[in-house]
């Protein structure tokens, strides 16, 4: 780590950085070369319960602060992280492995959640009306839901943390953040930025338990937690929903995706190729929003494949610290090997490798940009979230058929449609997804509601309703 970066590698509980009760630590590894970047404190179950107690103790005072005061702390965090954007990006690169461009984009996106929710903190809506019978006044206010447990994945270690922390804190909730074990340093950097912004002790806490499951379960069973917000795999989400049932905890889930991308007849090929490259290759393909399946109409297929292939071929792959590289490392050798195995299975199931497909030798978790053509809808790779720089192209004849294939999944996070705007709008309306991008490959924005349908999740993050996930309505009746 550069000398100018002092990165915290301890737990943050009740306003103090401290090692875990056991004194044990785990390695945070740079996936680009396998070196150990830091040794992070392991939280015991006791540490995790201390964090819940600290958040609980701070809850009523924080809920009672003026919305403007909460907003201004978030605004300060926005300003600190904007000034330190390069440093935050560097931490992301070192523990996650992504390219510099992806890390800088994430740092900016992550920071924007603090600005957006600084602005939302002072706009919490309520309602006042006369009952239809005329006998009473119906007054509806909103209060913070309470202590919130926020669990995040490694693929966007900064943005997934701020997308939860910012609305929780803006709403007046206290929080415990549990980052992925691959990427705790980015979470610690953000928590420290909040401390430096003047957030009172106990309002945000950071824990990194090993093993994860039992400690999270103990926190959910503690009784003080009223909200669980999770981003990660559908598999773990299912377990957490079951665990949250014990104490009837309100749960928001941002889970897996299997995004289809449709290129309709008449699409502008240049727009479709550059949009598909962004939708597929952003974050090295390690995104829940990544275009997993490219359905291209027969009339455009060959030229689309040729242009896509030659663009991919020009991508530079290597360490994210070298700012010229387009694609960084995957988060770990384990993830890289999963991607490689998926490509091998696709080939065994009849796909053709048009580019890439060979695992490089060396210590880094690299996998080359890869293009598979002749992929059959329904084959393993079209049913699995790839989470790597591998594009699969499926040729189709009829738009109805493409839409049927797009919807043929238990997921429904996002879809992309490229084509003449009217046609694309009509197709977008027929796709079962929480979000659709038309003639563009990147759509995430703190001001827009992010979330999925079907097994991609429950609830929305960001947008004008994002804060509502952390608020509960309270109805007060008065006589007229």
Summarize as ranges the residues that interact with ligand NAP (CB under 6 A).
151-156, 160, 178-181, 212-213, 216, 231-233, 236, 239-240, 254-257, 288, 385, 413, 452, 456-457
Closest residue to ligand NAP, judged by C-beta, is 232
Nearer Cβ to ligand NAP, position 141 or 212? 212
Q: Minimum distance from CB of 242 to ligand NAP (Å)?
A: 10
Q: Minimum distance from CB of 408 to ligand NAP (Å)?
A: 18
Nearer Cβ to ligand NAP, position 181 or 299? 181
| Catalytic pick among 90, 120, 254, 395 | 254
Q: Minimum distance from CB of 239 to ligand NAP (Å)?
A: 5
Q: Minimum distance from CB of 47 to ligand NAP (Å)?
A: 14
Place of tokens 């890869």: 370
For the chain, give the secondary structure using H, E and C.
Answer: CCCCCCCCCCEEECCEEECCCCCCEEEEECCCCCCEEEEEECECHHHHHHHHHHHHHHHHHHHHCCHHHHHHHHHHHHHHHHHCHHHHHHHHHHHHCCCHHHHHHHHHHHHHHHHHHHHHHHHCCCEEEECCCCCEEEEEEEEECCEEEEECCCCCCCHHHHHHHHHHHHHCCCEEEECCCCCHHHHHHHHHHHHHCCCCCCCEEECCECCHHHHHHHHHHCCCEEEEEEECCHHHHHHHHHHHHCCCCEEEEECCCCEEEEECCCCCHHHHHHHHHHHHHHHHHCCCCCEEEEEEEHHHHHHHHHHHHHHHHCCCECCCCCCCCCECCCCCHHHHHHHHHHHHHHHHCCCEEEECCCCCCCCCCCCCCEEEECCCCCCHHHHCCCCCCEEEEEEECCHHHHHHHHHCCCCCCEEEEECCHHHHHHHHHHCCCCEEEECCCCCCCCCCCECCCHHHEECCECCCCHHHHHEEEEEEEEEC
Per the CB < 8 A criterion, the answer to whether 150 and 160 are in contact is: no
Q: Minimum distance from CB of 401 to ligand NAP (Å)?
A: 26
Say whether 235 is catalytic.
no
Beginning with the edge strand found earlier in the chain, give each strand of the sheet holding 471-479 in spatial order: 127-130, 136-144, 471-479
Nearer Cβ to ligand NAP, position 118 or 236? 236
Alpha-carbon distance of 98 to 284, in angstroms, equals 7
Nearer Cβ to ligand NAP, position 232 or 368? 232
- CA of residue 470 relative to chain centroid, distance: 18
Residue 210, Cβ neighbours under 10 Å: how many? Answer: 16
* Residue 43, phi then psi, degrees to nearest 5: -90, 130
Nearer Cβ to ligand NAP, position 179 or 441? 179
Nearer Cβ to ligand NAP, position 65 or 212? 212
Q: Minimum distance from CB of 378 to ligand NAP (Å)?
A: 20
Q: Minimum distance from CB of 115 to ligand NAP (Å)?
A: 20
Q: Minimum distance from CB of 132 to ligand NAP (Å)?
A: 40
Nearer Cβ to ligand NAP, position 236 or 399? 236
Nearer Cβ to ligand NAP, position 181 or 345? 181
Cα end-to-end span (Å), the chain: 66
Nearer Cβ to ligand NAP, position 88 or 413? 413
Q: Strand pairing of 136-144 and 127-130?
A: antiparallel
Q: Minimum distance from CB of 360 to ligand NAP (Å)?
A: 22
- Give the residue among 305, 315, 292 at the shortest CA–CA distance from 369: 315
Residues involved in catalysis: 254
């Amino acid at each position: 780590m550069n000398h100018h970066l002092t990165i915290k590698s301890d737990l943050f509980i009740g306003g103090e950085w401290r090692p875990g009760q056991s004194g044990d630590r785990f390695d945070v590894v740079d996936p680009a070369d396998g070196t150990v970047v830091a040794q992070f404190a392991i939280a015991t179950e006791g540490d995790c319960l201390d964090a819940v107690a600290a958040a609980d103790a701070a809850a009523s005072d924080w809920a009672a602060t003026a919305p403007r005061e909460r907003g201004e702390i978030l605004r300060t965090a926005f300003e600190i992280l904007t000034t330190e954007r390069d440093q935050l990006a560097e931490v992301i690169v070192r523990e996650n492995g992504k390219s510099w461009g992806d890390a800088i984009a994430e740092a900016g996106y992550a920071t924007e959640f603090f600005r957006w929710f600084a602005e939302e903190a002072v706009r919490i809506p309520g309602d006042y009306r006369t009952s239809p019978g005329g006998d009473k006044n119906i007054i509806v206010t909103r209060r913070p839901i309470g202590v919130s447990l926020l669990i995040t994945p490694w693929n966007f270690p900064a943005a997934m943390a701020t997308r939860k922390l910012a609305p929780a804190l803006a709403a007046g909730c206290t929080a415990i953040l549990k980052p992925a074990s691959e990427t705790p340093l980015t979470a610690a950097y953000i928590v420290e930025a909040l401390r430096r912004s003047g957030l009172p002790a106990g309002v945000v806490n950071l824990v990194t338990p090993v093993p994860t499951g039992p400690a999270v379960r103990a926190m959910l069973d503690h009784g003080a937690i009223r909200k669980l917000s999770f981003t990660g795999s559908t598999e773990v989400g299912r377990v957490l929903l079951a665990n949250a049932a014990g104490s009837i905890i309100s749960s928001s889930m941002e889970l897996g995706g299997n995004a289809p991308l449709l290129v309709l007849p008449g699409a502008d090929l240049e727009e479709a190729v550059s949009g598909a490259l962004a939708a597929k290759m952003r974050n090295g393909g390690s995104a829940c929003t990544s275009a997993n399946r490219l359905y291209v109409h027969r009339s455009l297929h060959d030229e689309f494949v040729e242009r896509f292939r030659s663009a991919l071929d020009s991508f530079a792959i290597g360490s994210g610290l070298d700012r010229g590289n387009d694609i960084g490392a995957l988060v770990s050798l384990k993830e890289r090997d999963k991607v490689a195995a998926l490509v091998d299975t696709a080939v065994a199931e009849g796909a053709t490798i048009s580019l890439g497909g060979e695992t490089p030798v060396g210590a880094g978790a690299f996998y080359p940009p890869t293009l598979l053509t002749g992929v059959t809808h329904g084959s393993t790779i079209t049913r699995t979230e790839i989470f790597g720089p591998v594009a699969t192209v499926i040729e189709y004849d009829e738009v109805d058929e493409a839409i049927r294939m797009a919807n043929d999944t238990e997921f429904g996070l996002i879809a992309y449609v490229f084509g003449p705007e009217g046609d694309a709008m009509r197709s977008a309306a027929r796709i079962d997804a929480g979000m659709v991008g038309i003639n563009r490959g990147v759509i995430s924005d703190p001001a827009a509601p992010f979330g999925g349908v079907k097994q991609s999740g429950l609830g929305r993050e960001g947008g004008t309703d994002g804060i509502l996930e952390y608020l509960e309505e309270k109805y007060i009746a008065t006589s007229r």
